[in-house]
Amino acid sequence: MRLSLKNLLLPLLMLLLAGCATNYYNIPREAYEKKVKVLGVAPVLLDADSDIRHPEKAEILRIVREANRKNEKELVEILKGNGEYFAVRYLDEDPDQLFSAIGSRRERRDDAGIVYNKYFYKPEEIKKFIEKHNVDAAMIVTVSGISMIEKIYSNNFMAVLEDSYNKLIMTAQIIDAQGNLLWEYPNFRQKFIAYTPLFALQYPDFEEARANLTDQVVIKNKSIPGIGRAFTATESSSVKWSKKVSSLYNKQFGDMTAFLQYFRNPFADKRSEKKPAADESALPKDNSQMQQPAPSTAPQQAPSAPAVMQGKPAPREFEPVKPVEPSKAAPKPVATPQPVPRPVEPMPMGTEVIKEPEIK
């Protein structure tokens, strides 16, 4: 059982480490780290002119504004805890005035099946805003309303209604002083694109249709008290457990900052730090080891004769032999028999050699 559990967890760990190096930025990760060391976080903005179709729209705007002010500092704390920046600062500004000052236009987008509002800003105003607070880039988070087609199932999964529903969504962008878009949420650089709206303002009433024995399901707006309770429901902060934060905002901030944190593979870091040892056979050697003595082509000299005692001729076997050229060879005279000297056998070290006198 333990072996099978290890075999199951090992592939999951490898997939996790393989996906750690994903770049969620619009520029290379290394360039972003060099460019953005101090990140400024603007107050959460609200687009009051966006597609919010609730009959009590003013109350919806009030609830969202209050929730923004109560929970926006949580995003700053999460970014500080990630440790990806030298400093993270909250840029204290009036949200409504800031939105009207820097906002240029809103564009409804449908990219890769994700429906959201993308915002464009005035380059001059963005530059003034960033230089005013002395940061490298600014993170701008906006809450807006939008309608999208969606399938919603009943509680028992016996009925489904596909229709247009009005929802509140949260989008974010990181922009530098030159107006370059460095990062955005929803993020389309992830392998499996997912995006969760902030809050649904409408719902299909399957229970009423079942009670009236009809297939006509009515889409209704959620009540203001119910929306207020949803926005004020809290849970423990992901940074400080003693602190309470809105469950809706905690979910959005968690999904958002997951694409702002770079999980480094510790095994890859160790491999990059440890240089591979070079093969000793491939290392260059010094000249004394590289240059081998060339084989001598000179004729070997005859062994030197031992020292001869004064007054006695040298033995015949140590006399130098001179080669006779074939062209000058003369008829050999009849040689008289000479006594053959005994060969000298090698003696062990330290033994004195006593030579026998020649026979005259």
Q: What pLDDT is recorded for position 153?
A: 95
* Nearest CA-CA partner of 186 in 170, 164, 165: 170
Q: For residue 223, what are the contacts with CB-CB under 8 A and spacing of at least 6?
A: none
| CA 30 to centroid of chain Cα atoms | 10
Please list the helix, strand and coil fractions of the chain in percent, rounded to the nearest 5, in that order. 35, 25, 45
* Nearest CA-CA partner of 169 in 152, 144, 194: 144
Percent of the chain whose pLDDT exceeds 70: 67
Helices (H), the chain: 2-18, 29-35, 57-82, 95-102, 123-133, 206-211, 224-232, 247-257, 266-273, 287-290
Q: Flag whether pLDDT at 341 surpasses 50.
A: yes
Q: 307-345: string of b/e by CB count within 10 Å (b at 16+)?
A: eeeeeeeeeeeeeeeeeeeeeeeeeeeeeeeeeeeeeee
Using CA atoms, how far residue 302 sits from 274, 341, 353, in Å, is: 59, 18, 20
Q: Flag whether pLDDT at 5 surpasses 70.
A: no
pLDDT of 187-209, one tens digit each?
A: 888 777 889 999 999 999 999 99
Enumerate long-range contacts of 293-301, CB under 8 Å, 24 or more apart: none
pLDDT of 87-134, one tens digit each?
A: 999 999 999 999 999 999 999 999 988 999 999 999 999 999 999 999
Q: Mean pLDDT, the chain, as a whole number?
A: 80
CA–CA separation, 4 and 85 (whole Å): 41
Q: Flag whether pLDDT at 311 surpasses 70.
A: no
Phi and psi at residue 320, in whole multiples of 5°?
A: -65, 140
* Nearest CA-CA partner of 177 in 128, 119, 121: 128
| DSSP states of 222-284 | PPHHHHHHHHH-EEE-SS-TTSEEEHHHHHHHHHHHTTS-----HHHHHHHHSPPPPPGGGSP
* Nearest CA-CA partner of 142 in 122, 164, 116, 179: 116
Hey, what are 258's tokens?
A: 């997951």
* Nearest CA-CA partner of 140 in 70, 75, 45, 71: 45
The confidence band for 70, taking pLDDT boundaries of 50, 70 and 90, is very high
Q: 184-220: string of b/e by CB count within 10 Å (b at 16+)?
A: bbbbeeeeeeebebbbbbbebebeebeeeeeeebeee
pLDDT of 291-310, one tens digit each?
A: 444 454 445 555 554 444 44
CA–CA separation, 91 and 114 (whole Å): 30
The confidence band for 31, taking pLDDT boundaries of 50, 70 and 90, is very high
Do 165 and 200 touch, CB atoms closer than 8 A?
A: yes
- For range 62-89, the mean pLDDT: 95
The confidence band for 318, taking pLDDT boundaries of 50, 70 and 90, is very low
Q: Flag whether pLDDT at 350 surpasses 90.
A: no
pLDDT of 140-177, one tens digit each?
A: 999 999 999 999 999 999 999 999 999 999 999 999 99
Angle at the Cα of 87 from the Cα atoms of 81 and 92, rounded to 5 degrees: 100
Q: How buried is residue 265: exposed, middle or buried, by Cβ count under 10 Å (0-12/13-18/19+)?
A: middle
